[in-house]
Chains A and B, each alone.
Chain A
Amino acid sequence: MKLTRSLKYHVPSILFAIFFLFPFYWLLESTTKDNTQLLQGTFTPGIPNHFIHDNLIGIFAFKNGVFANWLFNSFMYAVSGSLIGTFLAALAGFAFRRYQFFGRKFLFVLILGFAMVPGFATALPLFVMFKNLGMIDSYWAVIIPSLVNVFGVYLMVVYWNQIPEEMFDAAMIDGAGDFRIFWRIGLPSIVPGFTTLVLLSFVAIWNNYFLPLVMLSSSDKFPLILGITTVTSLQGFPVYNLSVMGAFLTSVPLLILFSFMQRFLSPQLTGAIK
């Protein structure tokens, strides 16, 4: 189809773009303000500019620079959780795709069913379990639950379904073992889907607030999203300019990651569903 530059299509697109971009713009210009300027509610950056002084320095100086810990923790949780979790989901999806086995349909439904129980309800049992394992308030308490990505398993089944049966049959005829088929033939074929899932998981883990809230009590283990909510005045009341700066700094790594990885966002996200 011929791509058009016609105005009647661009106008709604631009309007949507303004709608989607506006809060980012507001966030960015708000990081330049101190509390008084924030309360004035303007569209333009603050003059004098408080971005570095007060705001950036304030956040990094908070409690002897624990912010750096938070940043590191978020990366650590998100990278390990997304990579390993996606790998586990790929393994599971492969099993559903490739094999006929006892309990196949039942298991598929069961997994989705269990995942529907809201996290608040299972928080206490989860807490007790990790406490018994001696892992409460440790990095493991956050990483282990991040490894379970039920939606990821579902997506993986979709991606695996896109690989024609013939490819597997050919490999089998060549005498390859099952894991080799998975590792050498299968995975490389679903790289776009795999990368997509890693990216989506990364975002989800990076933004996960509730799980670390329940599991962690040492602030040096907090991820960014949890840490910035503890940046308060001494009586526990929010300090708005630091909140805004914290929100900004929590979003920026994701935005950078997104823009960079955008070409991997596979158009075949749900390709098999026709």
Chain B
Amino acid sequence: MRKTSTLKAYAFLAPFLVFFALVFVYPVLFGGYLSLFGQRGARMWWVGLGNYATVLTDPQFWGGFGLPAFLLFVQVPLMLLLGIIIALLYERIKHSRVYRLIFYLPYAMPGIVAGLLWAYIFSKSMSPFVPLMHAFGVKNPNFITYPSLPWILLIIILWEWTGYTSLILYSTLLSIPKEYAEQAQLDGATHTQVAYYIKVPLLKNTVLVLFIFNAIGALQVFNEPWILGQLITLSPNYTPAIYIYNEAFSYGAFTHAIAMGLVLAAVIFVISFFFLRRSTKELNIHA
């Protein structure tokens, strides 16, 4: 039985909460206050909700959601699918530990570095694929173009995160009781049928969790498009996060950027609201 023990609980929570308040609560609240002002350099003047009105009616801001939406509806499902396939492979193959390590390694590479590497790999000059394409008779292959950019980003992000995803899915598979599969096999099911009809449905919750966290990541995507922006022309609002960055650090309009950031956070919050409700239930966090 869980005890009701407010004092003790907060004693344990205190160290974390102190830093949390310092690093998140105060800046967000202070930032919220600042977002009620117009600003140029160190000069500020009251505009009330003016910044928010601008943000909500700014087609550039909402237009930037195009790429995150692409990632959300194409990259995330694809990655989850690949993750499941790979996790099932881990289960079946001998020496899967080696594969697990290899597939997990890209996660260790910093996002900026990964983006840079892939930018070089796909560039016209440093790409080892160019001589290869020449061999196939393709004259001047140009991998990174404005239309191809979302697909390039897809490849990079899949490369970075699929291994990590597959590991999480694998760990869930491990906790499925062996009896289910064995019973089905005794009844004559093939491995593929076992996989499809028994295991995959049991992965549902993990997939849901992963989907939401990846959705949050997709909506905040910055590193990879930013790096590729060095090689190809990108509009300043290519993603909402890039737009916010430019507003703050290229034009110095910090208070407006804060307003944009809070609006973006609200959008993310709404989208993950259902997840939050679900997860509090799953983890027995009742009021």
Q: Which residues of A contact B (CB under 8 A)?
A: 1, 3-5, 9-10, 12-13, 16-17, 19-24, 26-27, 30, 38-39, 41-43, 88-89, 91-92, 94-96, 98-102, 104-109, 111-118, 120-126, 128-129, 144-145, 147-148, 150, 153-154, 157-158, 161, 165, 178, 182, 203, 206-207, 209, 225, 229, 240, 243-244, 247, 250-251, 254-255, 257-259, 262, 265-274
Contact = CB atoms under 8 A, between A and B. Distances in A.
What 8 A-B pairs come out closest when comparing CB atoms?
A: A121-B261, A207-B110, A95-B12, A101-B9, A99-B9, A125-B27, A92-B16, A122-B27
Given A1-B91, A108-B280, A269-B168, A41 B23 contact: no
Main secondary structure of the interface of A (DSSP, over half): helix
Given A3-B94, A129-B27, A101 B131 contact: no
Contacts of B287: 104-106
B99 A26 contact: no
A27 B235 CA distance: 29
Residue of A16, A39, A268 contacting most chain B CB atoms (<10 Å)? A16
A39 B125 contact: yes
Contacts of A16: 86, 99, 103
Contacts of A178: 8, 11-12
Given A20-B103, A94-B12, A99-B2, A125 B26 contact: yes
Interface stretch (B66-74, B111-119, B144-152): B111-119
Nearest to A29: B128
18 contacts: A9-B93, A16-B86, A20-B105, A41-B125, A92-B16, A100-B2, A101-B9, A117-B28, A118-B220, A118-B265, A120-B222, A123-B248, A124-B31, A125-B28, A157-B285, A206-B110, A243-B116, A259-B101
Given A26-B117, A122-B261, A116 B272 contact: yes
Contacts of A105: 280, 285-287
Main secondary structure of the interface of B (DSSP, over half): helix
Given A41-B125, A269-B168, A122 B31 contact: yes
Given A41-B126, A203-B108, 19 more contacts: A9-B93, A12-B89, A21-B102, A39-B126, A41-B131, A98-B3, A102-B6, A120-B257, A121-B31, A122-B31, A124-B257, A147-B23, A157-B283, A157-B285, A161-B283, A209-B223, A225-B112, A251-B108, A251-B110
A23 B28 contact: no
Contact of B244 (A17, A26, A120): A120
Interface string B242-273: 00110011000010011011101100110010
Contacts of B249: 120
Contacts of A123: 248
A267 B2 contact: no
Contacts of B92: 1, 3-4, 9
Contact of B276 (A112, A128, A255): A112
A42 B105 contact: no
A258 B130 contact: no
A126 B23 contact: yes
A101 B4 CA distance: 5
A4 B110 contact: no
Residue of A95, A157, A255 contacting most chain B CB atoms (<10 Å)? A95
B165 to A, nearest CB: 11
Interface string B29-73: 011001000000000000000000000000000000000000000
B254 A124 contact: yes
B168 A274 contact: no
Given A247-B116, A268-B175, A225 B28 contact: no
Contacts of A259: 101
Contact of B269 (A1, A113, A207): A113
A113 to B, nearest CB: 6
Contacts of A154: 279
